[in-house]
Amino acid sequence: MIQFSRLRGEPYLKAYLYHGGKVIDSWKWNVIMLS
């Protein structure tokens, strides 16, 4: 999932900022991508 976040750095950053700068766990990131 770390590799995926690097490949998709921009949307990962957007999600990071959207959640108030909190560290997003891998399972939460999966939920975000599937939603």
pLDDT tens across 8-35, in order? 566 766 766 666 656 556 666 666 666 5
Within 10 Å of residue 29's Cβ, how many Cβ atoms?
A: 19
3-state secondary structure of 30: helix
pLDDT over 60 (residue 7): no
Alpha carbons 20 and 3: distance in angstroms, whole number: 22
| Whether the model pTM is above 0.75 | no
Extents of the domains making up the chain: 2-34
- DSSP, residue by residue, the chain: -HHHHHHTHHHHHHHHHHTTTPPPPHHHHHHHHH-
| pLDDT number for residue 21 | 58
Return the CA Rg of the chain: 9
